[in-house]
């Protein structure tokens, strides 16, 4: 049973920008959207060195794109932008990521932001989703919901194609599995061949065939499912993982940490080969999952720090607390000296003086809860 790797790499990437689009751009987008509404067709506008296709959709905002090898752009109207909502959302297309990777996506982003005249700084960027995909030619494979090993509470869904049946006796064929939440961590295993055919995404065919050519194998004939069945293993990270757990926000953060995040993904969510062992965590990884793990490790090695941000914060916090303890000790020694305390009485002096400090705290005009809250706000331990 052969399993050939036809493609691997980033498949989804979304950024938001907390900024307003300039008045000049708003006027251009509003005029183009009005024209698109009249003609019921996309309207192309030239902005600097870039063409932007503006749609009639978007509600009170503006929806546009920069082509199949570009990105989806969503601009909030600065005159109707809700508080704390990002003014710009950029969702990069899969073909851009497949052919040019992170470097191409970042270059496209910066070129477009400059061409559109949108002001921004690095600290207003927020990454909200990153997907990594592996396409494997494995006609013999069939997804099994029972083979998923996921953390407790993870939702698992199974997809079947009504028109995709092997025989009338076996019923519908499973075409995909999905586990987890897109806002957090999600694994999707699905029939990529079927998607390519049904959604006319034939741009994947030359990508796959080029990989086969390098392996001295014949190109795919999508009409022959038994010989061209491609399964995609797609690992998706949402904002809860990216921003809350891994503290990724900017392009630099993604480059430094996304490998760590996907490595942990492969440890927390697995596709296994079931055994009679009732402890699912001991089930060995499925052959295809081992391929996915190896590709994640190799492809994203340069995007790893090898440590959780929380571990760095804990180390910084411990060092800061030690520094404060040393300062407190120095002050106690100075206070003891001012009182004429002899060295052998110093331990008792410290114990007794703690009561005096508590009385001073009780007499303070602001309650201790407010003071602790304000002090905590000064420490980020980044």
On the 0-12 / 13-18 / 19+ scale of CB atoms within 10 A, 43 is buried
Q: Phi first, then psi: what are they for 299, rounded to 5°?
A: -70, -30
In whole angstroms, give the CA distance from residue 45 to residue 104: 22
Q: Which residues of the chain have pLDDT under 50?
A: 162-171, 307-309, 311-312, 315, 381-382
**Terminal Cα distance for the chain, rounded:** 49
Closest CA to 33 of 9, 60, 54, 18: 54
Helix axes 346-362, 309-338, angle to 10 degrees: 110
In whole angstroms, give the CA distance from residue 339 to residue 330: 14
Q: What is the pLDDT of residue 379?
A: 57
- CA–CA–CA angle 138, 147, 221 (5° rounding): 15
Residues sharing a CB contact under 8 Å with residue 82, sequence separation 6 or more, in sequence order? 76
Pull the structure tokens for residue 352: 């007794």
Residue 262 and residue 219 in contact, taking contact as beta carbons nearer than 8 Å: no
Closest CA to 251 of 59, 109, 79: 109
Give the bridge partners for 262, in sequence order. none
Integer angstrom CA distances of residue 285 from 134, 216, 282, 288, 292: 16, 29, 9, 8, 10
Within 10 angstroms of residue 27's Cβ, the number of other Cβ atoms is: 10
Q: What is the DSSP string of 128-169?
A: EEEEEEEEEE-TT----GGGEE--TT--EEEEEEEEEES-TT
Q: Phi first, then psi: what are they for 67, rounded to 5°?
A: 100, 170
- pTM, to two decimals: 0.77
Within 10 angstroms of residue 74's Cβ, the number of other Cβ atoms is: 19
The two beta strands, 148-149 and 125-137, are: unpaired
In whole angstroms, give the CA distance from residue 272 to residue 146: 9
Query: Whose structure tokens read 């959780």?
Result: 308
In whole angstroms, give the CA distance from residue 42 to residue 52: 10
Secondary element (H or E) of residue 206: helix 204-214
For 116-166, the pLDDT digits (tens) are 999 999 999 999 999 999 999 999 999 999 999 998 888 888 877 644 433
Q: What is the pLDDT of residue 198?
A: 92
Q: Phi first, then psi: what are they for 79, rounded to 5°?
A: -85, -10
Pull the structure tokens for residue 253: 């953060």
Secondary element (H or E) of residue 16: strand 4-17
Read off the DSSP letter of residue 22. Answer: P
Read off the DSSP letter of residue 364. Answer: S
Residue 142 and residue 170 in contact, taking contact as beta carbons nearer than 8 Å: no
In whole angstroms, give the CA distance from residue 113 to residue 94: 20
Q: What is the DSSP string of 281-321?
A: GGSPBPHHHHHHHHHHHHHTGGG--SS-HHHHHHHHHHHHH
């Amino acid at each position: 049973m052969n399993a050939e790797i036809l493609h691997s790499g980033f498949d989804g990437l979304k950024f938001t920008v907390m900024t307003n689009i300039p008045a000049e751009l708003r006027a251009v987008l509003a005029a183009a959207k009005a024209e698109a509404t009249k003609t019921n067709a996309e309207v192309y506008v030239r902005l600097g060195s870039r063409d932007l296709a503006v749609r009639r959709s978007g509600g009170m905002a503006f929806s546009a794109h920069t082509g199949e090898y570009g990105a989806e752009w969503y601009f909030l109207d600065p005159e109707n932008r809700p508080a704390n909502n990002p003014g710009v959302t950029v969702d990069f297309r899969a073909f851009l990521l497949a052919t040019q990777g992170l470097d191409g996506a970042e270059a496209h982003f910066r070129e477009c932001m400059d061409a559109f005249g949108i002001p921004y700084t690095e600290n207003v960027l927020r990454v909200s989703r990153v997907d990594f995909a592996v396409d494997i030619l494995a006609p013999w494979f069939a997804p099994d919901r029972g083979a998923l090993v996921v953390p407790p509470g993870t939702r698992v869904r199974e997809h079947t194609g009504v028109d995709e049946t092997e025989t009338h006796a076996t019923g519908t064929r499973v075409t995909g599995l999905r586990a987890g939440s897109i806002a957090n961590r999600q694994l999707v295993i699905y029939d990529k061949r079927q998607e390519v055919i049904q959604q006319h995404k034939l741009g994947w065919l030359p990508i796959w065939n080029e990989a086969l050519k390098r392996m001295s194998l014949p190109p795919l004939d999508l009409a022959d499912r038994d010989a061209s069945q491609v399964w995609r293993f797609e690992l998706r990270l949402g904002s809860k993982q990216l921003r809350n757990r891994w503290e990724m926000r900017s392009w630099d953060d993604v480059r430094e940490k996304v490998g760590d995040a996907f490595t942990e993904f492969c440890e927390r969510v697995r596709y296994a080969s079931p055994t009679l062992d009732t402890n699912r965590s001991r089930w060995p990884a499925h052959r295809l999952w081992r391929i996915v793990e190896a590709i994640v490790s190799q492809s994203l090695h340069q995007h790893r720090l090898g440590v959780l941000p929380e571990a760095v914060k804990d180390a910084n916090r411990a060092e800061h607390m030690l520094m404060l303890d040393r300062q407190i000790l120095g002050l106690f020694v100075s206070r003891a000296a001012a009182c004429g305390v002899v060295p052998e009485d110093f331990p008792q002096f410290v114990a007794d003086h703690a009561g005096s400090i508590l009385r001073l705290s009780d007499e303070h005009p602001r309650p201790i809860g407010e003071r602790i809250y304000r002090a905590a706000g000064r420490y980020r331990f980044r």
